[in-house]
Amino acid sequence: MGMTTPVKAGVPLLGIIFLALAIFKFVQGDGWVVWAILAFLFGGFGIFSRNRSGGNQS
């Protein structure tokens, strides 16, 4: 595998950053929709469903 292979196994850090920005902008009352869309595109919402794939870990 070369350097052009996208990283899918790790935590989507960029998506989480955009998700945090969307929440921050929403609280401030600014335009947050663009940040939420970017978070979705970069996998930021995957952190909510990540725990389901490994079984019950409670």
What is the residue-level pLDDT of the chain in tens, covering all 58 positions? 455 555 455 677 888 888 899 999 999 998 989 988 888 888 877 777 766 555 454 4
DSSP E strands in the chain: the ranges are none
Q: pTM for this one?
A: 0.60
What is the sign of the dihedral through the CA atoms of 33, 36, 42 and 45?
Answer: negative
Residue 15 to residue 55: CA distance in whole angstroms: 24
Q: Can you tell me which residue has the tokens 């079984």?
A: 55
* Domain layout of the chain by residue ranges: 13-45
